Amino acid sequence: MPTRKPISRRDFVYQAGLTGLALPFSHSKLFTPTVKNKKDKLGIALVGLGGYATHQLAPALLETEHCYLAGIVTGTPSKIPDWKEKYKIPDANIYNYENFDTIRDNKDIDIVYVVLPNSMHAEFTIRAAKAGKHVICEKPMALTVEECDKMIKACKDANVQLGIGYRLHYEPFNQEMVRLGTQKVYGNIEKLNAGFAFTIGDPKQWRLKKAMSGGGPLQDIGIYCIQGICYTTGMEPVAVRATEGPKKDMEKFKEVEESLTWEFDMPNGLIAKGKCSYSESYNFLRAEAAKGTFELSPAYNYGGIQGKTPDGAMNFPRVNQQARQMDAMTEAIKKGEKIRTGGEMGKRDVKLINAVYEAMHTGKTISLV
Ligand code: NAD
- Order of strands, sheet of 42-47, starting from the edge strand that comes earlier in the sequence: 94-95, 67-73, 42-47, 111-114, 134-137, 162-164
Q: In this structure, how many other beta carbons lie within 10 angstroms of the beta carbon of residue 135?
A: 28
Q: What residues flank ligand 1, with Cβ below 6 Å?
A: 48-53, 75-76, 115-118, 138-139, 165, 167, 206, 220
Q: Ligand 1: distance of its center to the CA of 49 in Å?
A: 8
pLDDT digits (tens, 9 = 90+) for 327-351: 999 999 999 999 999 999 999 999 9
17 vs 46, which has greater pLDDT? 46
- The reported pLDDT for the residue numbered 188 is 98
Checking if the pLDDT of 356 tops 60, the result is yes
Query: How remote is the CA of residue 145 from the centroid of ligand 1, in Å?
Result: 20
User: 174 with 296: CB under 8 angstroms?
Assistant: yes
Amino acid at 54: T
Of the CA atoms within 13 Å of residue 243, those in its CB half-sphere come to: 5
Q: Which of 73, 82, 112, 206 to mutate to test ligand 1, by most ligand atoms within 8 A of the CB atom?
A: 206
Of the residues 87, 113, 139, 357, only one is catalytic, namely: 139
The pick from 115, 169, 202 for probing ligand 1's pocket by mutation, whose C-beta has the most ligand atoms within 8 angstroms, reads 115
Q: Would you give the DSSP letter of residue 103?
A: G
Q: Residue 130 is inside which H or E element, if any?
A: helix 121-130
pLDDT digits (tens, 9 = 90+) for 241-298: 999 999 999 999 999 999 999 999 999 999 999 999 999 999 999 999 999 999 999 9
Mean pLDDT, to the nearest integer, of 146-175? 98
DSSP 202-218: -TTSGGG-HHHHSSSHI
Please give the distance, rounded to the nearest whole angstrom, from the Cα atom of residue 121 to the centre of ligand 1. Answer: 10
Report d(CA 92, CA 318) in Å as an integer: 36
Q: Rounded to the nearest whole angstrom, what is the distance from the C-alpha of residue 115 to the centroid of ligand 1? A: 5
- Confirm whether 86 is a catalytic residue: no
Which residue type occupies 133?
Answer: K
Q: What is the pLDDT of residues 102-144, one digit of tens each?
A: 999 999 999 999 999 999 999 999 999 999 999 999 999 999 9
Residue 316 C-alpha from the chain's centroid: 21
Return phi, psi of residue 147, to 5°.
-60, -45
pLDDT-based confidence at 40, cuts 50/70/90? confident
In this structure, the strands spanning 271-277 and 259-265 are: antiparallel
Distance (angstroms) between ligand 1 centre and the Cα of 73 equals: 13
pLDDT of residue 344: 98
Mean pLDDT of 168-197: 98
Determine the average pLDDT of the residues in 38-44. Answer: 83
Coil, helix or strand for 96?
Answer: coil
Mean of per-residue pLDDT scores for the chain: 92
Q: Give the whole-angstrom CA distance, residue 324 versus residue 321.
A: 5
Q: Facing residues of 261 across strands? A: 243, 275
For residue 22, name the pLDDT band (cuts at 50, 70, 90).
very low
Tell me, yes or no, if 191 is annotated catalytic. no
d(CA 290, CA 310): 11
Q: Kindly report the backbone phi and psi dihedral angles of residue 312, in degrees, each rounded to the nearest multiple of 5, phi listed first.
A: 120, -170
Overall residue count recorded for the chain in this entry: 369
Compute the distance between CA of residue 125 and CA of residue 131 in angstroms, rounded to an integer: 10
Residue 54 Cα: closest atom of ligand 1 = 26
Closest CA to 352 of 279, 262, 278: 262
DSSP designation for 166: -
- What does DSSP say about strands 134-137 and 162-164: parallel, antiparallel, or unpaired? parallel
